[in-house]
Amino acid sequence: MATAKLSAPASQWAIGGRNPADLRRSTLLPAASPRRVAAAPIRAGSYSDELVQTAKSIASPGRGILAIDESNATCGKRLASIGLDNTEANRQAYRQLLLTTGGLGEYISGAILFEETLYQSTTDGKKFVDCLRHENIMPGIKVDKGLVPLPGSNNESWCQGLDGLASRCAEYYKQGARFAKWRTVVSVPNGPSALAVKEASWGLARYAAIAQDNGLVPIVEPEILLDGDHPIERTLEVAEKVWAEVFFYLAENNVMFEGILLKPSMVTPGAEHKEKASPETIAKFTLTMLKRRVPPAVPGIMFLSGGQSEVEATLNLNAMNQSPNPWHVSFSYARALQNSVLKTWQGRPESVEAAQKALLVRARANSLAQLGRYSAEGEGEEAKTGMFQKGYTY
């Protein structure tokens, strides 16, 4: 029984047993001219102009993002650290403290909320979304459904949440959210495998396209985890590979770059590496990666802190803003903005004002770092304490 040879050159494939070139000659057809294929337009539905304006508002000078999108379980861990039970009332009280801080909008342009928080109000009935708008802060929403094991990988993970995402984004928009966040992670010690990088990149691109189609500016966040004892050069290598693939798939999915924000991790050595890198070194390696991989059309780079101490995260950001960049280089910090706040508050009503002042201190420090004007002089020891957790989940 004859079998087809699939490795034959294209010119040897026959139509009806004849070579295509012979067929053209025998029918006197002219040689085919190159086809002009119109490029598919970059589109973001009917929200294009709004998406660009939202992204620009968040990426405004001297301002960054407050990330308070921890799941209820992770928020419970934060509360437990100060002796509070993980109840809805306690979570509401803590988030009310953060979101009703007067003057916060001078330093914060966006706040990423967990779904519970997006629909909550203060104890006197004012919607949290309206509290943010009063301070000219854009409400945002975490839309992923968390990390799960990735079958066929080297003990790596992938991020769930694409099912039903369009309808959820539409509902979040109605509730007042104007940007979204989706976090997936890449582990350096575990490879990373080509499968894990592709899965992370494709998932981020699909999410970004769906979010834009429903009016939400997507924050694109493939976090390169700090876990490991590798040098900074290895982190750079992995980050370049990941971001190259992310932008390839963003383009494949017709995502409008002017209407997205990035949330990368800084390029640092692994947390267990024997030598610590200076802010200047971290800035050099991080900006090298960004300039090689991120188009200038992207409005803002909003770094995550990734377990660095409050002061470390601020010093590193400051070092990156010592000369002009093609994008707004800023922050989207969770622990690096909240650690001092929690320790000051301790769940006591009489400490709310002091805790809000602690939030303003950290927000102002990072605002100055975004402008390249921060100095660590006068920072307390607590703010210099690292917060790295191996295998961190939230």
Which one-letter DSSP state was computed for residue 314? H
CATH number reported for the structural domain that contains residue 354 in this entry: 3.20.20.70
Domain residues for the domain of 168 are 48-384
Is 50 exceeded by the pLDDT of residue 378? yes
Residue 266 lies in a domain: yes
* 4 lies in some domain: no
- Mean pLDDT, residues 42-63 taken together: 90
Strands 147-149, 157-159: pairing is antiparallel
38 lies in some domain = no
pLDDT tens per residue, range 223-249: 999 889 999 999 999 999 999 999 999
pLDDT value at residue 44: 56
Does residue 40 belong to any structural domain of this protein? Answer: no
Residue 65 located in a structural domain: yes
With tokens 């070579």, the residue in question is 19
What gap in Å lies between CA 189 and CA 211, rounded to an integer?
31
pLDDT at 360 over 70: yes
| pLDDT tops 90 at residue 64 | yes
Closest CA to 211 of 307, 112, 295, 290: 112
Task: With respect to residue 33, please indicate whether it lies within any of the assigned structural domains.
Answer: no
Percent of the chain with pLDDT over 90: 80
* Catalytic residue chosen out of the listed positions 70, 115, 135, 221: 221
Radius of gyration of the CA atoms of the chain, in A: 24
> What average pLDDT does the segment 249-258 reach?
97
* Structure token digits, residue 175: 């509730």
- Per the annotation, the verdict on 221 as an active-site residue is yes
Could you say which of 70, 156, 223, 263 is catalytic?
Answer: 263
Average pLDDT value for residue range 345-357: 97
Is residue 203 domain-resident? Answer: yes
132-188 pLDDT, tens digit each: 999 999 999 999 999 999 999 999 999 999 999 999 999 999 999 999 999 999 999
95, 103, 334, 178: CA torsion to nearest 10: 80
Q: Identify the band that residue 391 occupies on the pLDDT scale cut at 50, 70 and 90.
A: low
Residue 386 clears pLDDT 60, i.e. is over it: no
Count of the separate structural domains present in the chain: 1
For 206, the token pair is: 């699909």
Report residue 321's pLDDT band, with 50, 70 and 90 as the boundaries: very high
Global confidence as pTM: 0.85
In a domain, 391, yes or no: no
